[in-house]
Structure 1
Amino acid sequence: MVVATLIPIANPFVSAPMFLSLTSNFSKKERQKTATLAAFYMFLFLTCFLLFGAHLLSFFGIQFTSLRIAGGLIIGYLGFKMLFPTPLEMHEETKQTTTANDIAFIPLAMPYMSGPGAISVVITMAAQINTSETLRDEIFDYSIVISGIAVSAFICWIVLSGASKVVKFMGTNGIIAMTKVMGFFLIGIGVDMVLDTILSFTAK
């Protein structure tokens, strides 16, 4: 569930062309290092939000049901933008420059691979984990989610490491089609999160 939710949000297939553009002047070794750092930052960033996200909710007095609905709306919105991108958005994504000192963190890891949608997912999972009955269950659930984040980051690393082959194999139309498919699934995930939360709330 973690991987199935995070991969469409991270959508490394869309990041691949941008990655090639940003690293066009890099050597093969530097490009590989950038891909590794981007995946590592993604894992570190989302894991931190997973571990400390529930404390943020408590600090701001936000209920789990409210966050789950908000997360569902954000995921659905991101999916809608992926399914129906505007010409301006598509143009801007391919018009990135290499002025940043560390492109692995910005813009690759944040906001592309671990943006608001991914953050809302892991914080929602953290809030749900904190409702576990025993400490053993809580530790087990955390380990499962962290493993899912690690797998997602690893998949992103594979795609970025072979970005030139991925882009060449899929082509522009293939990447656009993949983006729309992932956007469609994200809309479904977002709607399911909202409906499931509303139904569980009204059932009480």
Structure 2
Amino acid sequence: MTPIRHNSSGSDAVLDAVRDCVLAVGVRRTTLTDVARRAGVSRMTLYRRWPDVRTLVGDLMTREWVAVATRAIPEHRPGAHARGLLVDGLVAGVDSFRAHPLFRKIVDVDPELLLPYVLDRRGASQTALLELLADGLKEGHADGSVRAGHPERQARSLLLIVQSFTLSLRTMTDEDDPELDSAAFLTELRSILERTLTP
């Protein structure tokens, strides 16, 4: 994924337009012409800023995924330690990602779009998520609620865990069995994270 380079309201309108196109027809069938029409801009304006649909979708995914992660971070509560907030945020984040309409559409229609970020390289949204995780871990180190360790390595390990739950959970669930439904696995994720982070 490419970093978001254009944070103006015009860029937001374009990203909103590409989101609408992807939700309607998927990434492969989305064209820059369709996006330009929905955004009310010329194709040349788009081509100057985004060379192709994949680059545009990369910026959209970065915007959407970082927003999901940021919303999942709980507000500090009196007496709450950083580990609890981090675990709450990660579990809520997995649940929110899995429910996000854009994520669901990509997984259902264009899953190959996610493969490079699972198998080959880190994307801009993953880098942003790692920064959020490292900050939370450092707070946990400072208040003693997270076991000592290299915060960047710990952040990468946590991201590997939650990515797996986000991307693959539906392959393991049986929604007809309360012991194997999504909620049961999110409880299991909480336990894994607590045990991983507790000093």
Band the TM-score falls in, shorter-chain normalisation: 0.3 to 0.5
The structure whose Rg is larger is 2
TM-score by length of 2: 0.34
Give 1 or 2: higher helix fraction. Answer: 1
